[in-house]
Copies of this chain bind each other. A is one copy, B any other.
Amino acid sequence: MSTSETAPASTPARGYSATKEGLLARLKRIEGQVRGVLGMVADDRYCIDVLTQISAIQAALDKVALGLLDDHARHCVMGADGADRVDKTDELMASVARLMRRG
């Protein structure tokens, strides 16, 4: 899925732009892991093995989320000015709370 071509040159750079290819590759892998779990359930595989796979997906998603948070803090929040930076910090922290399951 070559998506970078479809993004016009004028697109305001997202925090994750620099690492976009890596991010897409990780998400593709996670999509495959979810499909793997689907197959395990379809094949009546042992619950505990299915749960182990789900934990692996959660760990992979956490890693993607932390990467996105980091890029966002670095590029979008730090780069913002004054009131905009305050709003963006609010947004960032609400996102952290959701990821910590307290949002």
Q: How many copies does the complex hold?
A: 4
Give the total of A residues in contact with B, Cβ under 8 Å: 67
CB-CB under 8 A from A1, the residues of chain B are 38, 42
Residues 36-88 of A contacting B (Cβ, < 8 Å): 37-38, 41-48, 50-52, 54-55, 57-59, 61-66, 68-74, 76-78, 85-86
Q: Which of B11, B16, B41, B95 lies in contact with A41, CB distance below 8 A?
A: B16
Mark A residues whose CB is within 8 Å of B: 1, 3, 6-7, 11, 14-17, 20, 23-24, 27-28, 30-31, 34-35, 37-38, 41-48, 50-52, 54-55, 57-59, 61-66, 68-74, 76-78, 85-86, 89, 91-93, 95-103
